[in-house]
């Protein structure tokens, strides 16, 4: 089926001999772009239907083409199709096999198109479908966080700045922070789909075609909103691929940050969560160990995605219009990033759903590091009318005294506090417990359980419509 002669015929009469082995190796992309087989066949069927509708090819030839392409689809999906590096890419592999199946009619399929617009439409279709898969995975992850947030809307834990205990928050509020992050990722996915939802098919090599094609027909058949409006841009644009990688890098960064927290939380020193056996491994030498390997790998895999983004940015940065072979380097970066992001999202969703939360350990830690100091300062402002800077100074002295006595702020005697400022009364102890601290943070978006529950209800409604 696939010999040098066939390869030369695909190139045309310009070439008298086959390519050198090294040229063939560097030029061929079939090893990775065969991933586009379904999109390539779908695009070719739509193109053939339009050609027949416009009278550019006969309907009899179109039926042969469609039947042959569907046969090839079945061969590929059943593993019977033999891909050839000599035929360079998925387009020429499919076309050569089509010629074997239906004869001369196969040669009419490529009328009014080029491999330039063909690969552009194939790749757009693939990226669009991957965006839709990512959108669903993000929704699943958000749903998992909403479940945990609802369970732990009132579970207190320390909130950190600089990895130092800062103020008490609730674990539900912490979970909702990731709901916000991943919902923005979901929004970016939706925006990116809207921008890329145009079909380049019919732009041909770069200048359009003299055949009376109907680009709106093929765009509609392939599920695109419209055809692209400039033939030069159509074949030279890869910003949809760059945007996929950008979205993947941002979402992957959020996943990596979360993974870092899970790694920290699962240490004996914190003990906030325990990962299930499904997402942990043991040590080959230390039998007591239970390692958060899934989280560590999610944390690390963002490096692959970031590398892929930089790689494609570098490929595209110096290319003049329109198509250059450099752009063959776009697919492996996107394919790898997509596979990596899919795995990261699935692993993180599983970890969030399966992990056990130790509310008692969180509560113990929530009061450490004088985390209610800000509540004391706020009380001094509200109750005694002190300027905040003076209240800050008074609170600092109280913290210093508590450190000296090795007790929490709530354990200081009233007499000790009065010695720092005589206006302090017994009422101050109502704000020094972590439970009362979080209950008081009722500002919109605050950590009070009542506010967290409002946000959960609102997000459940949003997610149902997303």
What three-state secondary structure class fits 167?
strand
Query: In the beta sheet, which residues pair with residue 165?
Result: 160
The verdict on whether 162 is a catalytic residue reads yes
The one catalytic residue among 17, 78, 162, 284: 162
Residues 6+ apart with CB under 8 A from 431: 372, 375, 376, 378, 379, 437, 440
Picking from 48, 66, 59, the residue whose alpha carbon sits closest to that of residue 109 is 48
Q: In this structure, is the dihedral angle defined by the CA atoms of residues 127, 131, 132 and 133, taken in order, positive or negative?
A: positive
Beta strand 198-199 with 164-170: parallel, antiparallel or unpaired?
Answer: unpaired
Q: Is 406 left (phi over 0), alpha (psi -120 to 50) or beta?
A: left
Span between the terminal Cα atoms of the chain, in Å: 48
What three-state secondary structure class fits 241?
helix
**Strand boundaries in 53-155, DSSP class E:** none
Q: Is 160 left (phi over 0), alpha (psi -120 to 50) or beta?
A: beta
CA distances from 139 to 124, 177, 347 (A): 23, 15, 14
Tokens of 72: 């090839």
Residues 6+ apart with CB under 8 A from 465: none
The verdict on whether 283 is a catalytic residue reads yes
Residue 390's CB is within 10 A of a number of other CB atoms, namely 15
Instruction: Name the DSSP letter for residue 320.
Output: P
Beta strand 164-170 with 273-274: parallel, antiparallel or unpaired?
Answer: unpaired
Tokens of 406: 């090795």
CA distances from 365 to 78, 154, 155, 375 (A): 57, 15, 12, 17
The one catalytic residue among 283, 324, 430, 450: 283
Query: In the beta sheet, which residues pair with residue 159?
Result: 167
Query: In the beta sheet, which residues pair with residue 381?
Result: none
Catalytic residue set? 162, 283
């Amino acid at each position: 089926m696939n010999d040098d002669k066939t390869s030369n015929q695909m190139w045309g009469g310009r070439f008298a001999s086959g390519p050198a082995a090294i040229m063939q190796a560097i030029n061929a992309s079939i090893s990775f772009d065969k991933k586009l087989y379904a999109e390539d066949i779908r695009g070719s069927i739509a193109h053939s239907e339009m050609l027949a509708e416009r009278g550019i090819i006969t309907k009899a030839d179109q039926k042969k083409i469609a039947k042959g392409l569907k046969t090839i689809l079945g061969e590929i999906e059943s593993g019977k199709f033999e891909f050839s590096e000599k035929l360079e890419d998925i387009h020429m592999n499919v076309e050569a096999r089509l010629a074997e199946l239906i004869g001369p009619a196969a040669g009419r399929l490529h009328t009014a198109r080029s491999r330039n617009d063909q690969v552009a439409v194939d790749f757009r279709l693939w990226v669009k479908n991957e965006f839709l898969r990512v959108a669903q995975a993000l929704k699943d992850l958000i749903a998992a966080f909403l479940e945990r947030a609802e369970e732990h809307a009132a579970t207190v834990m320390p909130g950190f700045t600089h990895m130092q205990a800062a103020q008490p928050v609730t674990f539900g509020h912490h979970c909702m922070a990731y709901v916000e992050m991943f919902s923005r990722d979901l929004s970016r996915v939706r925006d990116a789909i809207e921008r890329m939802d145009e079909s380049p098919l019919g732009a041909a090599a770069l200048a359009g075609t003299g055949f009376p094609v109907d680009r709106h027909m093929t765009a509609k058949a392939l599920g695109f909103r419209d055809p692209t409006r400039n033939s030069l841009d159509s074949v030279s644009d890869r910003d949809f691929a760059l945007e996929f990688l950008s979205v993947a890098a941002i979402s992957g960064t959020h996943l990596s940050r979360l993974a870092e927290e899970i790694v920290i939380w699962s240490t004996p020193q914190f003990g906030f969560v325990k990962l299930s056996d499904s997402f942990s491994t043991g040590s080959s030498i230390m039998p007591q160990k239970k390692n958060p390997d899934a989280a560590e790998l999610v944390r690390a895999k963002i490096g692959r995605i970031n590398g892929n983004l930089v790689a494609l940015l570098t490929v595209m940065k110096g290319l003049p219009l329109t198509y250059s072979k450099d752009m063959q380097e776009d697919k492996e970066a996107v394919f790898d990033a997509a596979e990596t992001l899919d795995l990261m999202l699935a692993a993180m969703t599983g970890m969030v759903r399966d992990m056990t939360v130790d509310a008692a350990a969180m509560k113990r830690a929530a009061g450490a590091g004088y985390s209610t100091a800000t509540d004391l300062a706020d009380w001094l402002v509200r109750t005694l009318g002190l300027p905040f800077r003076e209240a800050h100074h008074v609170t600092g002295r109280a913290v210093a005294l508590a450190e000296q006595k090795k007790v929490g702020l709530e354990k200081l005697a009233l007499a000790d506090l009065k010695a720092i400022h005589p206006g302090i009364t017994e009422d101050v102890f109502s704000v020094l417990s972590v439970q009362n601290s979080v209950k008081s943070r009722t500002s919109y978006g605050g950590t009070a359980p009542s506010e967290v529950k409002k946000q959960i209800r609102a997000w459940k409604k949003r997610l149902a419509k997303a």
